[in-house]
Amino acid sequence: MEIKKVGVVGCGFMGSGIVQVCAQSGYQVVVTRKNPKLLDKGIASIDYYLTRDVEKGRISQQDRDSALSRIKGTTNTKDFSDCDLVVEAVPEDMDLKKKVFAEFDKVCPRQAILASNTSCLSVIELAMVTSKPDKVLGLHFLSPVPLSRLLEIVKTVATSDDTLETGTQFGKSLGKAVIVAKDTPGFIFNRLVIPWQLNAVRMLEAGIATREDIDNTMKLGLSYPIGPLALCDFNGIDVVCMVAQAMYEETKELQYAPPVLMKKMVAAGWLGRKTGKGFYEYNK
């Protein structure tokens, strides 16, 4: 199956990034978000990042204009009726994602692939609210989508080989290195990263080391581009906490249980870069 038109449900930080890389890779893209103002804000952010890339000499003005011309924002789900692939990028709420999958299963053509950008939730649960679980998989893009080189594809017990192959070729067409994961809590990436981040929080919580020493140990010792606490701030402490909690609830492994400090920071609204305060403080 050839992918020509891509639909994206959600135009927040992740959704807009997915829209951008698809449009830059030559795909026609239709994107929706229920709130028209937030939809416009998401598309405007794509314009901003593409324009910045022109200013920095990464792409040409023509590349920017061509990419933007391939993007259509809409609040009408009927505009997804001719999509070959739809990627769901709404918040990590199983009930919300199931509603999205059930709705777009009815709108999209029978042969269309439905994919979730979930970073930890069960993809087979989403697949089973559709009429075609063999056409459902996970496409876990990493943040920030335009810069990350990795795409994690999640194959459920019901995903067909043809669907997996199409998803793999699609990921490669975006310039991503593709890895295939089983439909287990956290898949591959978060199964590795989340314990690393939570252990860093526990070290800070116990007074073993300062935030700077914890992050610099990984940056200088292993040449990581960012430390675990700074990464929590970048992704959103609430997001990391939610992903960890979801993994803990399914596996009951203590390594995934969110530390008390992290829960209190979420309660205080200290969510990282997006609020200006997390493990570090930022100018908004």
Looking at the annotation, which residues are catalytic? Answer: 119, 140, 152, 190
**Rounded-to-integer distance, Cα 229 and Cα 152, Å:** 23
User: What residues form DSSP beta bridges with 30?
Assistant: 7, 72
Cβ atoms of 5 and 32 closer than 8 Å = no
Tokens of 69: 């011309």
- Helix %, strand %, coil % of the chain (to 5): 50, 15, 35
Residue type at 2 in one-letter notation: E
| Integer Cα distance of 111 and 54 in angstroms | 37
Residue 245's Cβ-side half-sphere holds a number of Cα atoms within 13 Å equal to 13
